[in-house]
Amino acid sequence: MSCKDTAKILPIIIMEKNLGIKWYQTIDSTNSQANRELADAPHGSVWVADFQTAGRGQRGNRWESKSAENLTFSILLRPTFLHPAQQFHISRIASLGVLRYLHDKGLDAKIKWPNDIYIGNKKICGMLIENSISTDKLSASIVGIGLNLNQRGFSSKLTNPTSLIMEKLSAEGNSDLPDKIYDRKDELSLLLGYIFTAYSELEEGYCKELEEEYHRNLYRLGEFHRFIEIDQDAPADIPVERISRGKEITARILGTDEYGCAIMEHISGEIKHYPFKGIRYVL
């Protein structure tokens, strides 16, 4: 795929297309279900769950979400116009879709590289993207999204979680908000509109604009902070907390390269590019 030069803002696609949405009360994981149906499901299929018994997170972690309080869903994209080396474009448009949705709610959301969404120092949304490659194309991309909407309390094991309702309460003080203020069907419909709009922009070649928007919304962009540099020989499926072979560094994120690696400047001035499993923030 090649990028266009000129800027063009596409209108938000409201969900007039009859997308195939399957909504489950309980399932192991919507990403796993999407994988099971991968061979026959068309582009744009969506699997949603009230509750996942084995919700999967990044780096082999679990994704925990109280039943029927939040959005846990997976979208199947078939971005065959992308080369496998361009797979970060999907991560970018998915992050921007969620980001635009949250900005529209009045929240100052940022993207914690590569695709966590943060409000301040708190995580409101996580993504698990699983790609399938066939020869020289990206044949399928399952974009799994967990967005916290109505949940007010989280397990103490999680690092700094938040939700839309918690952010609204903290912005408005102790106001008397109903328990489930956000209707999950309405919010899903809105959010899918934003994600498919960003996807259409990519499909039409507006990758420069998408790249710039992603860049200027990066969490802690250009600020020196502590990070753990992960030993690349550590087994890939071990949760990062259990990897002892990591070195603490002070560095700042300058942006991402064409493959989606984080470009980091160490305090010494050295510049290094890190793949997803190569570095993690110390929060």
Residue 71 or 249: which CB sits closer to ligand BTN?
A: 71
User: How near is the Cβ of 62 to ligand BTN at its closest, in Å?
Assistant: 8
User: How near is the Cβ of 47 to ligand BTN at its closest, in Å?
Assistant: 8
Residue 49 or 166: which CB sits closer to ligand BTN?
A: 49
Cα angle: 75, vertex 61, 40; to 5 degrees: 25
DSSP state of 154: -
| Alpha-carbon torsion (108, 75, 257, 125), positive or negative | positive
User: How near is the Cβ of 33 to ligand BTN at its closest, in Å?
Assistant: 8
Footprint of ligand BTN (CB under 6 A): 29-31, 52, 55-58, 61, 63, 72-74, 116, 126-128, 144-146
Classified as helix, coil or strand, 113 is coil
Residue 81 or 276: which CB sits closer to ligand BTN?
A: 276
Nearest to 88 by CA among 279, 247, 276, 282: 276
User: How near is the Cβ of 30 to ligand BTN at its closest, in Å?
Assistant: 4
User: How near is the Cβ of 126 to ligand BTN at its closest, in Å?
Assistant: 2
Nearest to 180 by CA among 163, 192, 193: 163
User: How near is the Cβ of 54 to ligand BTN at its closest, in Å?
Assistant: 7
Give the CA count within 13 Å in the CB-facing half-sphere of 162: 21
Residue 59 or 252: which CB sits closer to ligand BTN?
A: 59
* Position with the least CB separation from ligand BTN: 126
At 264, which helix (H) or strand (E)? strand 262-266
Residue 62 or 225: which CB sits closer to ligand BTN?
A: 62
Alpha helices in the chain (DSSP H): 30-36, 88-104, 164-172, 184-203, 207-216
Residue 97 or 146: which CB sits closer to ligand BTN?
A: 146
User: How near is the Cβ of 40 to ligand BTN at its closest, in Å?
Assistant: 19
Chain centroid to Cα 220, Å, comes to 17
Long-range contacts of residues 80-84, Cβ cutoff 8 Å, at least 24 apart: 80/137, 80/138, 80/139, 81/1, 81/137, 81/203, 82/1, 82/137, 82/138, 83/1, 83/136, 83/137, 83/138, 84/131, 84/133, 84/136, 84/137, 84/138
Can you name the residues that pair with 29 across neighbouring β-strands? Answer: none
User: How near is the Cβ of 13 to ligand BTN at its closest, in Å?
Assistant: 22
Residue 117 or 207: which CB sits closer to ligand BTN?
A: 117
Residue 134 or 160: which CB sits closer to ligand BTN?
A: 160
